[in-house]
Structure formats: structure tokens, C-alpha cells
A and B are shown apart, each in its own frame.
Chain A
């Protein structure tokens, strides 16, 4: 084996002597590797972009729901439950019920459908809103049931033609009962991303209000179907979720009834990610099939090459080449074809990924950077080497086993 460099040189010489054929042989490998690299990079990039947008929306959110059984039994989530969660559980930054109502309002700009999101002052955390003017309503507002509201700047412009509206009142009609809400804060409307949308055409004007203010319209805000808990990262989300369930079950004496269910934001993100991973893996598998086809192409050409070069093999053997020398020479040839093909494929795949990502970024409105990972590239390289050796062995052995007399006789 000491002559390995010589065999590699011979292999190179032969590949260069048959440039056109070598390139066509490599093409299969190039396309295979390029598509695997491209699909994986675009997939990873998409996941990264999605995660960063979703993280902006609010990580650490845990939604608690009442099951159907709990609803039937009247075991709703109560304001006292929420206070207990806030005060007794570790790792909880805030909690808000998810209460809501709808109505309408008439302004100088016309009549608008209004959606009311009722909650505590912690609701501010759910959207990570930046306040543009004024401030969010406070815990005192919640305690006293003040009719105050926070509106987004775009909605303010829809209603009044300006976002300088702090201190103004909105007259609401909810189920025929009139009530006026004072605007205490204007939040900056977030722009829609490629994955998360905050607004849509014809969306009702939405106001964030203290849930206690709904009492004005004649209903007691003392039981809720769902609530959102904001966990910090001191305790794991899973731990907090477990604690919430435990606390609620203790308070409602319903351990084991599965009255309360949890959906954490992380779970949703993880689910999305795993779906994306499945899609990426599937497409990569399809691309990998083309790699195997490429490998068979290499084997095919090597077999043709062995047949064509039978006489050369005979000459080499008569001059003293051992079986292992011939084996190495042909194996090196197959390996070089696939490795060089692999390198070109990686390059094209990366270029393709950059191109595809910029196209996607342009059409989706969110920036996707190709997720180029060293592991992907390393994996693709090793895989292409593996293919070269695997599919090269059969033709190389065939060449090496030729008897010199047989080989010299053929022409």
C-alpha cells in the first residue's frame, strides 16, 4: 500500500484523460449531494426563522383549559385560582384569564366592529407589545374594574385618523348596553411575519381591557374557560405546567379527573418544528435516492472502464502489478469521482440554498437565512466517499481478479 499516492495519481490521470465521461458520471453525485444540502439548509433556515418569529410572540406562555367534564361540572377557573397560581407557584411571572366580548363603536370615521380582550395587566406580556403612547392599564384598574383600554396605533388610526388618542373615550355598544372606555395606552402594531400574522384585512378593532370591566355590561367575571400563565425561565415550562395542574386540582378537589389541560407555547413550537423536520427528512430521503442512483452510475461507468481497459490491466499485471495495486487504482478512481462530485455538489447545494432562501424571503416577507451546518456538509462528504468506495468495490475487484494472460489476449 506504500504506493497509494502513485495509485491516486494514476486514477487522476485516467479521470482527466476521460474528462467528458468523468463529468457525466459525477453529475449524478453532484445533483444528489446538491439537492440534499439544499433541502437540509433551506429546511433548517426555515425552522430558524420560524422559531425566532415565534419566540418574539411569547415564549414561556402556558395556556390552561377546562376540559368538557370540568365545564359540565361547573369547575371553571376562578379569579382566586389565578391569584393562587400567581402567588404560590414558583417561576410564574404573571397570569391572566382569557375573557372576551365583542361589540361595536361609532366614531367620526364610521361604525366599527370591536373585539374586547379581557384580562389582567399581565396580558401585556402575551404579545410583547411596545407601548407607543401612554401606558398599559394597571393592577389597580383591574381591581377597581375601571373601563380603560389599550389600542394599537393602526386601530387608533382606523377609528380616529390619528394615534394620538390617549385620554380619549370610545363609546361601546355591547349587547345593547352602552359603555365608554378611556384609552390609556397606544401600542405599536407588530408587522406580520412570514409565519405569524397579527392583523388581517377586515379584522375588528381590538381593545385590551381589564376583565373586571365587563361587569358594567352585566356579567360577573368570576369563571373562565381558559387562562394564560407567563412562566419565566427559572423553572422549566414542564415543571410549571405540572404545578399549575396540581394546584388547580387541589383547589377544585378533582385530582385525577383531568379537568384541566395545558398547552404550552413550547409544545406548539416543538410540534411545528417536528413537522418541519419530518418534511425536511422526507425530501432529503428523496434526494438521497438520487445519490444512490448516482452511485450506481459510478459503478456502471467503472464497469465499462474495466472492460475497456482490460488490456491495460493485463499490461500492468504483466509488469508486476499485484491484485491489490489494481484494486487500489480502480477504487481510488471511483472514490475520486464521487469525492470531487461531492465537493461540487456541496458548493452548488450551498449556492442553491442561498438562492432559494432569498427567493423565499422575498415572497414571504420574513428573512430566511440558509441554515448551513457543518454536520450537514460533513455528512454529505462522508456519504459521497462511502458511495464511491461501496460502488467502486465491485468493478475494482473485477479488474483486479483478471488473469494477465486473459487480459492481454483481449483487445
Chain B
């Protein structure tokens, strides 16, 4: 079966020249459909850069990146927007909800950009919010919700359009332990339901909950192993 994600020899160099920063240094990575992968590293290790690349927010300096069979590494701005919209569901550390939209409207956003009509949009958004247990908070603005609830809205937004990849960047970084547990449970259940989940974190405890761990250091992948103690 074709890999969902295939990164070959990927480099990202900032400030090319004397003061160049090699954020990614010849990275090779393959992730299959249905995997639950944690990418772990310290700050400055290059994990955020890798996440930007995997999330199609940026293009690599060299190397190739196939996402769901498409070569993303050479795409232009608008094509990348389309890929992000259709292939990826983002979950950010800071939730990144739009403040003046309520939960429902926030979840509908990617569906709007996908061009889905109003009725279908409502149905999908409702379904996603119900999945994360927020069916009673659909009209609430982000400011009226707790951090954990906001992150659940963000998860609903990420899964509403059923993209093949869910990319979570430190999703529990701003949350207390109870909410962290809640969010991790949702991510695990998404994985169990067959979604591919990529989790970026600096926290070993979080990484341990994933099925596979990829450790990155100084722009290179230094470890790539499966958590044997986990049953998936």
C-alpha cells in the first residue's frame, strides 16, 4: 500500500549563506495510513519546521514530500491552500479559534473554504461537535469556554471535513492535566476509528501514548520506534 506520507531527503535552510540555519537536515520519513505517530523533540530541534512542512504551510528547500500520493514540495501557494483544506486537519497548541465566531461557525470554516453548501456544512459541523462532546455548546464563543473545551472545538474543526491526516501541534501544551487527559483520549479514539494522527510534542509522557515515536534533534531524525507496551 502506498504511504500516506513519504518524505525523502528533505532539507529546510533558513538564511542561506554564512549564517544559514539548517532546520531540517536530510530527513526521511514514511507514515502509513491509520498510524498514530508522535514527533518529539526539544524546542529548536526542528520539529516545528517539520510540522510546517508536513502541514503544507511551507515548502522545503530541497527534497520531496508526497502526501496522499501528491508531490507537495513543488506546489504554489494556492495549491498548498487546497491541500491543507482537503488533506489535513490542524490542531494547534493555542487552539487558534476565531474569537468572534461561535463553536459551530469555527468548525464550519474549513468546510466553507471547501465550498460545501450551508445545509451539509451544518450537518457535518454538528456531527463533529457531537463527537467531541460539545453538542450543547455549539452557540458558545471561544471566550465562553474553558481551554479544554476550546481545544475540543479545534479538534471538531480538524475532523469535520474528514481529512486523511490529523496534525496536532502540542495540542495539550496549554492545558491542565485533566483537560490533557481528555484531549489525549479523543485523539486515541480518533486513531482507533481509523484516522491517521500525527502529534508533535516535547513531552515524553504524551509521546508515550502514541503508537510510534519519531525523535528529532538538530534537524535530524535520531530515533524512530514503536511503543511496544501499548496495545493498539
Residues of A within 8 A of B (CB): 2-3, 6, 13-14, 17, 311-312, 314-325, 403-405, 408, 411
Q: How many B residues have CB within 8 A of the partner chain?
A: 27
The answer to whether A322 touches B78 (Cβ under 8 A) is yes
Closest to A325 in B: B113
Contacts of A322 in B (CB 8 A): 77-78, 81-82, 113
Could you list which residues of chain B lie within 8 angstroms of chain A, going by C-beta atoms?
52, 55, 57-58, 77-78, 81-82, 84-86, 90, 92, 94, 96-101, 109-110, 112-115, 157
Interface residue from B52, B77, B78, B109 paired with A316 (Cβ < 8 Å): B109
If A17-B100, A322-B77 are given as contacts, then 9 extra A-B residue pairs at C-beta distance below 8 Å, sorted by A number, are A2-B115, A13-B100, A315-B96, A315-B98, A316-B98, A319-B84, A320-B110, A322-B82, A411-B94
In the bound complex, how far is the Cα of B97 from the Cα of A323, in angstroms? 20
Determine if A6 and B112 form an interchain contact, defined as CB atoms under 8 angstroms apart: yes
Q: Please list 26 pairs of residues, one from A and one from B, whose beta carbons are closer than 8 Å in the complex, sorted by A's number.
A: A2-B115, A3-B113, A3-B115, A13-B101, A314-B96, A315-B97, A317-B81, A317-B84, A318-B55, A318-B57, A319-B109, A319-B110, A320-B110, A320-B114, A321-B113, A322-B81, A322-B113, A323-B77, A323-B78, A323-B81, A324-B78, A325-B113, A404-B57, A405-B57, A408-B92, A408-B96
Chain B residues near A2 (CB-CB < 8 A): 115
Residue of B58, B81, B82, B110 with most chain A CB atoms under a 10 A cut-off: B81
Please measure, in the bound complex, the distance between the C-alpha atom of A3 and the C-alpha atom of B85, giving whole angstroms: 15
Knowing A13-B100, A318-B84, A318-B90, the reply to whether A405 touches B113 (Cβ < 8 A) is no
Instruction: Report chain A residues within 8 Å CB of B109.
Output: 315-316, 319
Contact B81 A321 (CB under 8 A): yes
Q: Which interface residue of B85, B86, B98 has the most chain A CB atoms within 10 A?
A: B98
Question: Nearest CB to that of A14 among chain B residues?
Answer: B100
Contact A319 B100 (CB under 8 A): no
**Taking the nearest CB of chain B, how far is it from the CB of A315, in angstroms?**
5
**C-alpha gap A319/B125 in the complex (Å):** 14
Contacts of B98 in A (CB 8 A): 312, 315-316
A315 contact set on B, CB distance < 8 A: 96-98, 109
Residue of A nearest to B80 (CB): A404
| Distance from B21 Cβ to chain A, minimum over Cβ atoms (Å) | 15
A188–B77 CA distance with the chains assembled, in angstroms: 84
A319 to B159, CA, bound (A): 12
